Amino acid sequence: QVQLVQSGAEVKKPGASVKVSCKASGYTFTSYGISWVRQAPGQGLEWMGWISAYNGNTNYAQKLQGRVTMTTDTSTSTAYMELRSLRSDDTAVYYCARARRGITGTNFDYWGQGTLVTVSS
Amino acid sequence: DIQMTQSPSSLSASVGDRVTITCRASQSISSYLNWYQQKPGKAPKLLIYAASSLQSGVPSRFSGSGSGTDFTLTISSLQPEDFATYYCQQSYSTPVTFGQGTRLEIK
């Protein structure tokens, strides 16, 4: 069965960086992309970007450009999301999701369990 | 960016009710529209993709319709496990954007 298992909760100080991992299993990793979506406490869902696990191509949300980097390690079927220069408003649950692309668009059919990142001095 | 607006923002209903949630895009997105269900403390779950296709394993009481700018998610007969928050999401263009969510509560 398809599973995405994320790394554990993090507490960071403002200005620091965080790197969240997402280990995939149960499918051919390079056949799908991975998107990252975050959710601030009590708020809605915000798309952060996408990475192709096939060739490493990325597409980031403009508001995060320059602060976010998404990578994959195909040898371990793991995706990573690094966010730098953390601010208090980066406090959120961060989700990875398998991006299923087709002629009818892209949807996120499997999700990780979420990783809480808290930014606090 | 394409703005997605859901209505209502919250809704109270009873078990057995028929419920409809609406999602409107700020420009035409063809059928590039997906619906998710999220329960507290859990990841979102894909319900409907491409506006009207039922994701595998999702009960048939869920259905979606629409194209262009106006879309609906319908639950034909509410079950206790359906009380959750629902989000629409467009994939017509990046950035991918979500609606603000509709919280479905028990009356």
> Band of the pLDDT at A92, cuts 50, 70, 90?
very high
Give the integer Cα–Cα distance in Å for B15 and B79: 5
Q: B58 to chain A: which residues are within 8 Å by CB?
A: none
Give the integer Cα–Cα distance in Å for A105 and A53: 18
Query: How far away is chain A from the Cα of B29, in angstroms, using its nearest Cα?
Result: 10
E-only strand ranges, chain A: 3-6, 10-12, 18-25, 33-39, 46-52, 58-60, 68-73, 78-83, 92-102, 105-111, 115-119
Q: Is the pLDDT of residue A80 over 90?
A: yes
pLDDT at B65: 98
Q: Is the pLDDT of residue B107 over 90?
A: no
Q: Is the pLDDT of residue A103 over 90?
A: no
Asked if B25 and B33 count as a contact pair (C-beta separation under 8 A), the reply is yes
Q: How far separated are the first and last CA of chain A, in Å rounded? A: 40
The residue of chain A with its CA nearest to that of B34 is A107
The mean pLDDT value for A102-108 works out to: 91
pLDDT at B1: 96
Q: Do A45 and B87 touch (CB under 8 A)?
A: yes
Q: Do A45 and B44 touch (CB under 8 A)?
A: yes
Query: How far away is chain B from the Cα of A16, in angstroms, using its nearest Cα?
Result: 26
Q: Is the pLDDT of residue B26 over 90?
A: yes
B86 touches chain A (CB under 8 A): no
Give the integer Cα–Cα distance in Å for B106 and A61: 36
> Band of the pLDDT at A102, cuts 50, 70, 90?
confident
pLDDT of A49-77, one tens digit each? 999 999 999 999 999 999 999 999 999 99
Tokens of A86: 């953390």
